[in-house]
Amino acid sequence: MNRKLLDPFEPEYPEAVEACLDDEYAVKCAFSHNGSFLATARSDGQCFIWDMDTLNIMRRLQHGDAALCGVSWSRSSRYILTYDDAGACALWDLSSGRIRTRASFDSAVVCARIHPRNSLVFIVCLAREAPCIVTAGAADSDPPMVERLRIAADDVDSASKAAASTCCCFGKKGVYAFFGTSRGLVLALDVASRSVVCSTKLSASAVNTIACNPRGSDIVTNSTDRILRVCHVCLPASASASAFVSASNRTSHVQTEAKIEPSITVAAKIQDIVNRVHWAQA
């Protein structure tokens, strides 16, 4: 009856709690790609997989005894990556409920993300070491291949022993990986060549979290200066991506991509001017 009095341009917000998941030890959570499942990382070393249709627990994954720091889903929702503050990463195959591969490091894992096109590849940001790209073996029993990445001249600070990279994420197709550093830098890394394509200085504050939009055209960062920054990304297609272009269009494709200058520019800033509260996640 009062629908005509409502503002048609006003966004709709939920007014009531529809359901509550009984998981008191959850510290982080992440939805699957299609939103059908929710993974909760718990402080007791377990990961629960929830079915959002029935709100029941589908899987209970025992990662270890250390508290989990976060989870990452694969695009197909078949694999999930769990990592803890003891330096262990486990890639789970949810179809069997067993670990596909496990990688251990000497420092705590700050952030880890699965490749959007290859579920057996993931990047890891460590607290006191340089970031890595991990590739699972051909079989479950084969050890993973760990490759260190060089994203800065001083990947680990000699005084504080803290790593330069603080967060990471993949682009839309996994051609590029983006890293945030403790010195306020955002870098774009070509995954195929393992080289830094471009970088930009956001501020003097450390970048806490970074995420890429589904189109791959923008990234958003959350820094310790309590400002969210939306950055526009302009990057050419990698050589691995251009391999899929047909031979007839390859010449024109290369000419088009050659004109693109790699850049990351800040498009907008969001902050709470009144209360100056910290943003928990970007």
* Model confidence pLDDT, tens digit, residues 184-243: 999 999 999 999 999 999 998 999 999 999 888 899 999 998 899 999 999 887 544 444
> How is residue 35 annotated by DSSP?
S
161 pLDDT more than 50: no
Q: How confident is the model at residue 176 (pLDDT cuts 50, 70, 90)?
A: very high
What are φ and ψ of residue 3, in 5° steps?
-65, -30
**N- to C-terminal Cα distance for the chain?**
38
268 pLDDT more than 70: yes
250 pLDDT more than 70: no
Q: Are 69 and 77 in contact (CB under 8 A)?
A: no
Give pLDDT, residue 156.
Answer: 59
Which one has a higher pLDDT value, 260 or 216?
Answer: 216
Average pLDDT over residues 96-113: 93
Give pTM, 2 decimals: 0.83
Lowest mean pLDDT among 19-28, 100-109, 186-195: 19-28
Pairing of the two strands 176-181 and 79-84: unpaired
The residue count of the chain comes to 282
Distances (CA, A) of 266 to 105, 159, 263, 269: 34, 31, 10, 8
Neighbours of 42 (CB within 10 A): 21
246 pLDDT more than 60: no
Nearest to 82 by CA among 128, 126, 41, 123: 41
Distances (CA, A) of 118 to 16, 73, 134, 148, 257: 39, 12, 11, 19, 24
Q: Are 189 and 147 in contact (CB under 8 A)?
A: no
- Dihedral angle sign, alpha carbons of residues 263, 268, 274, 275: negative
Nearest to 112 by CA among 148, 166, 36: 166
Q: Are 264 and 199 in contact (CB under 8 A)?
A: yes
Lowest mean pLDDT among 129-138, 146-155, 191-200, 244-253: 244-253
10 contact partners, CB below 8 Å, separation of at least 6: none
Give pLDDT, residue 163.
Answer: 65
Question: What is d(CA 160, CA 170) in angstroms, rounded to the nearest whole number?
Answer: 28
Question: What is d(CA 146, CA 132) in angstroms, rounded to the nearest whole number?
Answer: 6
What are φ and ψ of residue 84, in 5° steps?
-125, 180
Q: How confident is the model at residue 256 (pLDDT cuts 50, 70, 90)?
A: very low
25 contact partners, CB below 8 Å, separation of at least 6: 42, 43, 44, 46
SS3 per residue for 208-266: EEEEECCCCCEEEEEECCCCEEEEEEECCCCHHHHCCCCCCCHHHHHHHHHCCCCEEEE
The one-letter code for the residue type at 237 is A
